[in-house]
Amino acid sequence: MTAYSIIFIQLILPAQEPDLKDLIKLLHSNPVEENPSEKIELKSGVIFCTGKSPVALLNNKAAELMLKEKYSEAKELLMEGLTHASLFFPFRYNLGECCLFLDDLRGALLHFNKAKDIVPEYSKTFLRIGYIYQRWDMDSDAVMAFREALKRNVKELGSYILIGDIYFKRNQLEMAKKYYEATLKIQHRYPDGLLGQAKILFKEEKYFQSMLVIKSIKTDREYDKSLHYYYAEAAFKLRDYAVAAREYSKLLEFKNDRFFLTNSRSLIEHKLNLSIRFSEK
């Protein structure tokens, strides 16, 4: 382990945070390359960190902006912080996320690779690197990155799902099924593993069975929001337009979700309008 040991604990912020200008001043007056005492927590794909140091507080301000979809503003803050703490892992990881949502894949890859070099044992960085390769249709490189994540954490369920998704995209459904089901052996009723099964049933045009599996998935914890897409699509195929409208509408509530990095919001809105129109006939 490096000095940046990764420990997930509840985010603790000081009761009164200094003004942003004060943080920038502190960074200028006390430049730091690293701060081993900081600990991190992943929240909705964004890294927060504990502690009251200028780098921690600046990172958390940027992270809050990211949760509000203010990626350009967050990126400016993080770039400012980076000039004084180039080895601070949360800055690099969050900059990668900002670049992803600003559709700067090359910038994202650069920062995630830097983050990987700083904390090579953090498996989720490899998932983001693999995701970028997926966007470039470099599936072999993507699978290699996902397998690197598994080397660091054999129970990194996201790695199995993402490899399964590549086979799913290639229509190699039996291989995809093996990876989806591997997650369920590790964690029974894992939401994204069940969703993988539902996606395969959908692809096989078993729409009713697909809906049954999706309805069994608990969504009171983190889950892949494309669940609502497949639920809506299956319902639409079965002419249950009221359910389809409900699920398309639910999907559109997650406007900040990664689903919309590769899927058209306007197309989903069009399908929602169609479902509403058909349900009223």
Distances (CA, A) of 123 to 119, 135, 152, 156: 9, 19, 6, 7
Is residue 87 a part of any domain in this protein? yes
Q: Would the pLDDT of 107 be above 90?
A: yes
Q: Report DSSP state, residue 221.
A: S
Is residue 154 a part of any domain in this protein? no
Long-range contacts of 226-232, Cβ-Cβ distance < 8 Å, separation of 24 or more: 226/195, 226/251, 226/259, 227/191, 227/195, 227/198, 228/254, 229/259, 229/263, 229/268, 230/195, 230/198, 230/199, 230/202, 232/271, 232/275
Provide the whole-model pTM.
0.75
Is residue 239 a part of any domain in this protein? no
Is residue 217 a part of any domain in this protein? no
Per-residue pLDDT, 52? 85
Is residue 278 a part of any domain in this protein? no
Is residue 198 a part of any domain in this protein? no
Per-residue pLDDT, 27? 45
pLDDT single digits (tens) 246-265: 999 999 999 878 899 889 99
The count of structural domains within the chain is 1
- Domain residue limits at 7: 1-96
Is residue 162 a part of any domain in this protein? no
Query: Cβ neighbours of residue 277 under 8 Å, at least 6 residues apart?
Result: none
Q: Would the pLDDT of 86 be above 50?
A: yes
Is residue 128 a part of any domain in this protein? no
First to last CA, the chain: 62
